[in-house]
Structure formats: C-alpha cells, structure tokens
Structure 1
C-alpha cells in the first residue's frame, strides 16, 4: 500500500512540474503574442484560465507535496510550493500585463521546484 501511495505521489509531482511548465509557456507566449502581434487577447488573457490554473496547482501540489511532507517529514518542499502558490494568487489580483506575468513566472517556478524537492526527498 505504501508503494502504491508513493507511486501516486510521484505521478502527481511529475504532473505538477508539467503543469508548471505549461503555465510558464502560456504566460510568456501569451504576452509575446498579445503584445507583439495583438492576437488572441480575449482567450489568452482570460482570467478564468488563471483561476482554473491556480485551482489545479493547489489540488496537485496539495496532494503530492502534502503527502510527501507527511511521509518524509521535510518542510522545504511544502514551504517552497506554498510560496509559489502565494505568488500565483498575487498574479490574480493585479492587472493583466507585465506584473501579472512576473508574479506568475515566479510562482510556477517555485511550485515546480517544490515538486522537484519533494521527489528528491522521497
């Protein structure tokens, strides 16, 4: 049973890192496409995408890193991931644009690092 939980947690950590990478690409590409070409602003900058992304990040990080913290008793993955989620939340309350992109990039990077630390702690 413990082996199965470890496999599930590992998969969630990997999923979290993939989602963080996709979010990073979406954020940077969205800024370039919208600012540089003036295309896709309605879809790419839709606040609902960011809200759903944050919800997914909280669920995946909570499952993977929360289970990991209970198992290996290391706080650093949890602290780093929570800091990242706070940056991502901050990105929801600022206007679309450079500030939002910076907060999001910092946030998803920290969440991805939290997942990586969690994998290494196992």
Structure 2
C-alpha cells in the first residue's frame, strides 16, 4: 500500500518557497549544466593544448595565449558563482559550495601562474584540477537542489 505524501508550500527539506520550486529547479539545472559544459571545456582545452602545440604549432600556440584563459574564466566564474550561490540558498550544504568556490579559485589562480608552455605543469594542472572540481560541484549542486519529497 502506498503512503500518501503531504505536499505544502513549506517542507523540511530546504528553505525554498515550494510554490515556485519547479521553476527554481529548472533554472538551477540550466545554470549547472552550463557550468559543467564550460568547466569541461576548460579541462579539455588544458589537456589538448600541449598536443596541439606539438602537432599543429600555429593552432596550438593560438590556444595557449593568455587571452584564451581569460575569456574562458569570464564565462566560467560568473556562471559558477551564480549556480553555487543560488544552490546554497536552497540546500545549505557548505562543503558542496566550498568545493565549487575552490574550483573557481583554482581556475582563477591558473590565470596568474606562469605559462608553462608544452609541459603539463603549473597553470595547466591548477586549471585542470579546478575545472574537474567545478564539474563535480555542479553535478552535486544539481542533485542537492532536487528535493525528493515533492
């Protein structure tokens, strides 16, 4: 026999106004998916650039320019900040939000680290680890924004 679940505008799962929860979940989902895509592209960029430098030097050198990293960060950082802030207001999970902020900090720190050229060290490792932290944090943020009592 199935249990009846009482649904109201106030739930103990979070502090969100549940009369608008479906809209919140859709918006949050959109921002986290965008964040996962952008962060994944950052990681792929950092992993592929050394190979592009070796195989197609002109293309590789273009991808290695500092402006490419700045442009990526200009998209990744605001999307991440918005997704993690709005998610935190919903789920209140400090560790999850800290993982996202740490990923953002590593991506930003990667901009300041000296460019290492073909080697996969320095800013490359920092940016790759930061991007992977962001992907994981966005996935966890999406899951935490879904209240299973609705």
* TM-score normalised by structure 2 residue count: 0.75
Partner of 1:113: 136
- Count how many residue pairs are aligned between Structure 1 and Structure 2: 122
1:100 partnered with 2:119: no
What does residue range 1-122 of structure 1 map to in structure 2 within 5 Å? 1-97=20-116, 98-122=121-145
Task: Give every structure 1 segment of 4 or more consecutive aligned residues whose post-TM-superposition deviation is greater than 4 Å.
Answer: none
RMSD: 1.5
Q: Deviations over 1:29-85 (max 9, x none)?
A: 111111455332441012111112112111111111110100111112210011111
Q: Which entry has the higher C-alpha Rg, 1 or 2?
A: 2
Q: Which runs of 5+ in 2 are unaligned?
A: 1-19, 146-150
* TM-score normalised by structure 1 residue count: 0.90
